[in-house]
Amino acid sequence: MLQTIVPSTVLVLTALFSYQRAGKVYGLLAGSLAALLIASGLFGNPAVPSVAAAMLLFVFCAAGIGLVFRLLLARVLPAKQARIARRVPLTASFGLCVILFVLVLCIFAGYIAPYGEAEIVGDIWEPASRTHLLGTDNLGRDMFSRLVYGARTTVLVAITASVLSFMVGMFLSFLAVVIGGWCDQILSRLNDLMLAIPTLVFALVVLAALPQNIAVLIIVMAIIDQTRVFRLGRAVATDVIVMDFVEAARLRGEKWAWIVFREILPNVLTPLIAEFGLRFAYAILFLSSLSFLGLGIQPPQADWGSMVKDNKDGLIFLVPAALYPGAVIALLAVSVNMVVDWMLNRTASLKGGRG
Amino acid sequence: MTKYQPIMRLVALRITAGLLLILAISAFLFLGLELLPGDFAQNFLGQTATPESVAAIRQELGLDVPAVSRYLGWLQGVATGDFGESWANRKDVNEQLFSRFANTFFLASTAALVAVPLALFLGVVSVHFHNKFPDHAINIVSLAAISMPDFFVGYLLIFFFALVLGVGYGPPIVPEGPLWTLQNLELIALPVMTLVIVVLAHMMRMTKAALLNVMESPYIETAELKGVRPLRVIWKHAAPNTIAPIANVVALNMAYLVVGVVVIEVVFAYPGMGQYFIDAVTIRDMPVVQACGIVFSAVYVILNMLADIISIIANPRLMHPK
Please give the ipTM for the structure prediction: 0.84
Q: Which one of B23, B147, B157 would you mutate to disrupt binding with A, by most A Cβ within 10 Å of its Cβ?
A: B147
pLDDT at A257: 81
Q: How confident is the model at residue A162 (pLDDT cuts 50, 70, 90)?
A: very high
Q: In this complex, do B165 and A45 lie within 8 Å of one another by their Cβ atoms?
A: yes
pLDDT at A181: 82
Q: In this complex, do A323 and B165 lie within 8 Å of one another by their Cβ atoms?
A: no
The shortest CB-CB distance from A293 to any of B33, B137, B278 is to B278
Q: Which one of B143, B152, B286 would you mutate to disrupt binding with A, by most A Cβ within 10 Å of its Cβ?
A: B152
How many Å lie between the alpha carbon of B77 and the closest alpha carbon of chain A? 20
The shortest CB-CB distance from B143 to any of A196, A197, A341 is to A341
Q: Does B277 touch chain A (CB under 8 A)?
A: yes
Scan residues 39-58 of B and list those with Cβ closer than 8 Å to A. Answer: 40, 43
Q: How confident is the model at residue A132 (pLDDT cuts 50, 70, 90)?
A: confident
Residues A118, A107: Cα–Cα separation, whole Å: 19
- Judge contact between A208 and B284, C-beta under 8 A: yes
Query: Higher model confidence: residue A172 or residue B135?
Result: A172
Please state the pTM of the whole predicted model: 0.84
Among chain B residues, the shortest Cα distance to A322 is held by B155
Among chain A residues, the shortest Cα distance to B285 is held by A208
The shortest CB-CB distance from B297 to any of A196, A329, A337 is to A196
pLDDT in tens, B217-270: 888 888 889 988 877 887 788 878 888 888 888 888 888 888 888 899 888 888
pLDDT in tens, B282-294: 877 778 888 888 8
Q: In this complex, do A326 and B156 lie within 8 Å of one another by their Cβ atoms?
A: yes
Scan residues 163-202 of A and list those with Cβ closer than 8 Å to B. Answer: 193, 196-202
Scan residues 55-114 of B and list those with Cβ closer than 8 Å to A. Answer: none
Q: In this complex, do B152 and A320 lie within 8 Å of one another by their Cβ atoms?
A: no
Q: How confident is the model at residue A4 (pLDDT cuts 50, 70, 90)?
A: low
How many Å lie between the alpha carbon of B235 and the closest alpha carbon of chain A? 26
In this model, does residue A351 exceed pLDDT 50?
no
* Number of helical (H) and strand (E) elements in chain A, helices listed first: 15, 0
Residue-range domain boundaries for chain A: 2-76, 143-347
Scan residues 132-171 of B and list those with Cβ closer than 8 Å to A. Answer: 133, 136-137, 140, 143-144, 146-152, 155-156, 158-160, 162-166
Residues A305/A309/A315/A320 CA torsion (nearest 10 deg): -30
Q: Does A330 touch chain B (CB under 8 A)?
A: yes
pLDDT at A221: 92
How many Å lie between the alpha carbon of A281 and the closest alpha carbon of chain B? 8
Q: How confident is the model at residue A353 (pLDDT cuts 50, 70, 90)?
A: very low
Q: In this complex, do A91 and B140 lie within 8 Å of one another by their Cβ atoms?
A: yes
Residues A199, A195: Cα–Cα separation, whole Å: 8
Name the average pLDDT for chain B: 80
Query: What b/e readout covers B259-274, taking b as 16+ CB neighbours within 10 angstroms?
Result: bbbbbbbbbbebbbbb
CATH number of A143-347: 1.10.3720.10
* Triad A60, A283, B135: Cα angle to 5°: 40
In terms of average pLDDT, the best of A17-31, A120-134, B179-193, B241-255 is B241-255
pLDDT at A165: 93
Residues B6/B7/B9/B14 CA torsion (nearest 10 deg): 140
Residues B225, B228: Cα–Cα separation, whole Å: 7
Name the average pLDDT for chain A: 81
Query: Higher model confidence: residue A292 or residue A259?
Result: A292
Q: Where are the alpha helices (DSSP H) in A77-142?
A: 79-86, 90-107, 109-112
pLDDT at A54: 72
Q: How confident is the model at residue A168 (pLDDT cuts 50, 70, 90)?
A: very high
DSSP secondary structure letters along A9-54: HHHHHHHHHHHHHT-HHHHHHHHHHHHHHHHHHHHT-THHHHHHHH
pLDDT at A157: 93
Q: In this complex, do B281 and A308 lie within 8 Å of one another by their Cβ atoms?
A: no
pLDDT at B143: 84
- Judge contact between B194 and B157, C-beta under 8 A: yes
In this model, does residue A5 exceed pLDDT 70?
no
Q: Does B290 touch chain A (CB under 8 A)?
A: yes
Q: In this complex, do B137 and A29 lie within 8 Å of one another by their Cβ atoms?
A: yes
The shortest CB-CB distance from A337 to any of B25, B146, B164 is to B146
pLDDT at A161: 94
In this model, does residue B68 exceed pLDDT 90?
no
- DSSP type of residue A242: T
Scan residues 195-214 of A and list those with Cβ closer than 8 Å to B. Answer: 196-202, 204-211
Contacts of B25 in chain A (CB under 8 A): 193, 196-197
pLDDT in tens, A260-300: 888 888 877 777 888 888 889 999 999 999 999 888 888 77
pLDDT in tens, B107-157: 888 899 999 999 888 888 888 787 777 777 788 788 888 888 888 988 888
Q: In this complex, do B147 and A337 lie within 8 Å of one another by their Cβ atoms?
A: yes
A55-64, A149-158, A333-342: least confident range: A55-64
In this model, does residue A180 exceed pLDDT 50?
yes
Residue A255 gets the label, from left (phi > 0), alpha (psi -120 to 50) or beta, of: beta
- Judge contact between A124 and A139, C-beta under 8 A: yes
Residues A93, A65: Cα–Cα separation, whole Å: 8
Q: Which one of B125, B140, B252 would you mutate to disrupt binding with A, by most A Cβ within 10 Å of its Cβ?
A: B140
Scan residues 257-276 of B and list those with Cβ closer than 8 Å to A. Answer: 258-259, 262-263, 266-267
Q: How confident is the model at residue A23 (pLDDT cuts 50, 70, 90)?
A: low
